[in-house]
């Protein structure tokens, strides 16, 4: 009798838990459907198209791995990959440094002042890349504000968007950092606010200086957030296109011709959709491998 009674008592709770689980699944279902429809299905569609010669009239010719063999023997692809890697190496550390510095600054301010500055620093993120590109093209012009200020100091004009590759990619990275650092800054700020205040207070009572507390306590506790920001900004770096399209058009002399710009030319300039799909799949695999490597690196650091 006792066992039957306890079973009966448990059943309402089990039924309630099942109902809660079902309700949660139903709430998530629209998002999952949208995610699958607009994320996973396009990936599989692009993978299939990359093995074909696709024409605008609807004719499809299966050619297997020919697009990939052609891609890996294309000097333009390797140049665009090199351009993208250089850009990512400049863009990602700069974004993390600016975002983290902004988050630390906001975390140190009072709540009211922090809210005002947080809104001001997040405003560029709300701007479109096209508008940001137009504004910064004017800023970097030979007669723009930056070069005018340099002229007043007796320095010659700097060809920010027409010089060598490092200068052009560095200028583009500065624009992208200005445009997008607000999002990563808020992620870092959330991570800082989630840290236990007792640990920092104990370290200060033990006589630790603020730089020591930051390096030995704050940064280690931020590792999960840092990993997330690193992966997200790496993906964003590999997807750079709008800023380049507006500010340099891939020039000068293809100095800023990124992988996405290479894909754009293949698909929309030369209408070679199968080849463009192969480029997209290769970019996807590169980013996937880099994300795995970054995760392994952080895991090894945690074990150490």
pLDDT tens for residues 159-190? Answer: 999 889 999 999 999 999 999 999 999 999 99
Of the pLDDT bands very low, low, confident and very high (cuts 50, 70, 90), residue 262 is very high
Q: Give the Cα-Cα-Cα angle 247, 249, 253 (nearest 5 degrees).
A: 115
Range from 35-44, 79-88, 134-143 carrying the lowest mean pLDDT: 35-44
Of the pLDDT bands very low, low, confident and very high (cuts 50, 70, 90), residue 86 is very high
pLDDT value, residue 117: 81
Mean pLDDT of 207-235: 88
pLDDT value, residue 188: 93
Mean pLDDT of 194-209: 82
Over 70: is that where the pLDDT of 253 sits? yes
Averaged confidence pLDDT in the chain = 87
CA distance 150 to 234: 33
Over 60: is that where the pLDDT of 88 sits? yes
Mean pLDDT of 110-127: 79
pLDDT value, residue 108: 82
Beta bridge partners of residue 54, listed in sequence order: 60
Mean pLDDT of 101-108: 89
Omega before residue 138 within 30° of 0, cis? no
Over 90: is that where the pLDDT of 75 sits? yes
Token pair for 91: 């863009």
Over 70: is that where the pLDDT of 220 sits? yes
CA distance 100 to 106: 10
Of the pLDDT bands very low, low, confident and very high (cuts 50, 70, 90), residue 13 is low
Beta bridge partners of residue 203, listed in sequence order: none
Of the pLDDT bands very low, low, confident and very high (cuts 50, 70, 90), residue 112 is low
pLDDT value, residue 212: 86
Over 90: is that where the pLDDT of 56 sits? no
pLDDT value, residue 42: 85
């Amino acid at each position: 009798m006792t066992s039957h009674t306890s079973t009966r008592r448990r059943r309402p709770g089990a039924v309630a838990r099942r109902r809660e689980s079902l309700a949660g699944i139903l709430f998530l279902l629209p998002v999952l459907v949208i995610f699958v429809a607009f994320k996973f299905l396009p990936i599989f569609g692009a993978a299939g198209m990359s093995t074909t010669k696709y024409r605008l009239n609807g004719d499809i010719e299966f050619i297997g791995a020919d697009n990939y063999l052609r891609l890996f023997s294309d000097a333009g692809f390797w140049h665009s990959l090199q351009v993208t890697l250089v850009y990512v190496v400049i863009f990602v550390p700069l974004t993390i440094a600016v975002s983290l510095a902004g988050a630390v600054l906001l975390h140190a301010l009072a709540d009211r002042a922090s809210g005002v500055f947080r809104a001001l620093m997040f405003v560029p993120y709300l701007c479109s890349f096209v508008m940001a590109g137009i504004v910064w093209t004017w800023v970097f012009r030979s007669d723009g504000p930056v070069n005018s200020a340099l002229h007043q100091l007796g320095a010659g004009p700097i060809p920010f968007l027409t010089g060598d590759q490092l200068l052009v990619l560095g200028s583009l990275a500065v624009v992208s950092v200005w445009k997008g650092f607000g999002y990563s800054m808020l992620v870092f700020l959330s991570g800082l606010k989630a840290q236990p205040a007792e640990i920092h207070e104990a370290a200060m009572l033990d006589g630790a200086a603020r730089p020591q507390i930051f390096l030995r306590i704050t940064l280690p506790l931020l590792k999960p957030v840092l990993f997330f920001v690193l992966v997200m900004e790496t993906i964003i770096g590999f997807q750079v296109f709008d800023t380049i399209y507006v500010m340099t058009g891939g020039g000068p002399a293809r100095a800023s011709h990124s992988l996405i710009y290479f894909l754009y030319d293949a698909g929309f300039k030369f209408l070679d959709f199968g080849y463009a799909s192969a480029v997209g799949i290769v970019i996807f695999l590169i980013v996937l491998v880099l994300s795995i490597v970054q995760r392994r690196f952080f895991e090894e650091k945690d074990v150490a």
